[in-house]
Structure 1
Amino acid sequence: MSRKSPQLSKSTTQSGRHGLPPSAKLTQPKLTPYVGFFAVGYILASALFMIIQTKFPLNAQMVTVLSIIMGAYIAVQKFIKHQQRALDSSEINRLMFGGVAVVWLLTVVYFLGIWFFLFDAVSREVLLDMSMQQPLPLLSALIMILVLSLVSARISIWALNRLLDPNRKAS
């Protein structure tokens, strides 16, 4: 006499996270425009803080975190407005890495502009000599600001996603 083993796998008729059918999870929205919204928010906040810094001295790390929070707010708010749902965890990760990558590309462009248009040959020589003699403080500062960017982007996207989630507001 053979016994039938119980079905342990989930049924494909169950609804997925956020009440969506499993087939809807296969077609995830493209996050490229939302990474762009993240970058626009970051640029606007950075420009605003540059204007504020002409009158009041502000901590550079605080300005970075607040600019990233503003970029995350704009990106998450636009996503929820367009998609009528909150981001899932893989979308949060993709938006975080994409947003931080764009922020760092913009920072590289900014520093290259300063390097070529603001510094003269003597200033460039002095900066190169200083960075060659003691590269560790520069590298540690770059790693610290990268970690700060990633952590603040992750926390702000997650928190804003939960705060602006239309399903949480309705219940």
Structure 2
Amino acid sequence: MSPKTTNLNKPQALAPTQPKLAQYIGFFAIGYTLASAIFMMIQTQFALNSQLVMALSIVIGAYIAVRKFIKHQQRALNHSEINRLMFGGVVVVWVLTIIYFLAIWFWLFDTVSREVLFEMGMARPLPLLSSLVMMLVFTLVSARISLWTINRLLNPARKAV
């Protein structure tokens, strides 16, 4: 008589899986891009502060990403998901900004303008680098605050109580 073999492939208690945030980072990027384009059109008529435009574009991108996440997952983001969405969204925002500036650099500026801007940047790089770091910190902080705030406002568990 053969001994009974135990089935090691029994389904264990299913742990909740982490949702893939790539599509929500894409929603963030789409919202940011659309808001930026709308604000660029508005800026042709009214003078708007560039930091205000960037912050509002990030808030709109965060709103779209969090709303889609809550709609699909039926729950709010946790802290690690907020952090991953924040860093992914900021990376996408900066990649889009780099593409935008490279397009301006190559298609809008002529050789003389490029040379003048390059020389100005080489002569005094510290103000340029410090403003770049400040804008990076600004985008991180505004993305974090907007994701956290919108996540709390749209939290379905909080509305049910």
Shared fold per TM-score greater than 0.5? yes
Q: Which residue of 1 aligns with 2:28?
A: 38
1:117 aligns with 2:107: yes
For 1:116-161, what per-residue CA distance to the aligned partner results, in whole angstroms no more than 9, with x for missing partners? 1111100000000000000011001100110000000000000000
Unaligned runs of 5+ in 1: 1-20
Structure 1 residue ranges (4+ consecutive) displaced by more than 2 angstroms after TM superposition: none
- 1:123 and 1:112 mapped to 2: Cα distance? 14
- 2:149 and 2:43 mapped to 1: Cα distance? 27
Q: Which residue of 2 aligns with 1:54?
A: 44
7, 15, 36: which is aligned to 1:23? 15
TM-score where L is the length of structure 2: 0.91
Q: Which residue of 2 aligns with 1:168?
A: 158
Unaligned runs of 5+ in 2: 1-12
- 1:53 and 1:129 mapped to 2: Cα distance? 29
Q: Which residue of 2 aligns with 1:156?
A: 146
User: What is the DSSP-based 3-state SS (H/G/I as helix, E as strand, rest coil) of the residue aligned with 1:56?
Assistant: coil
TM-score where L is the length of structure 1: 0.86
Q: Which residue of 2 aligns with 1:3?
A: none
Shift of 1:164: 0.2
User: What is the DSSP-based 3-state SS (H/G/I as helix, E as strand, rest coil) of the residue aligned with 2:19?
Assistant: coil
% identical equivalent positions: 70
**Paired residues, what number?**
149
Q: Which residue of 2 aligns with 1:136?
A: 126
94, 98, 114: which is aligned to 2:88? 98
- 2:24 and 2:126 mapped to 1: Cα distance? 35
- Aligned Cα root-mean-square deviation (Å): 1.0
User: What is the DSSP-based 3-state SS (H/G/I as helix, E as strand, rest coil) of the residue aligned with 1:47?
Assistant: helix
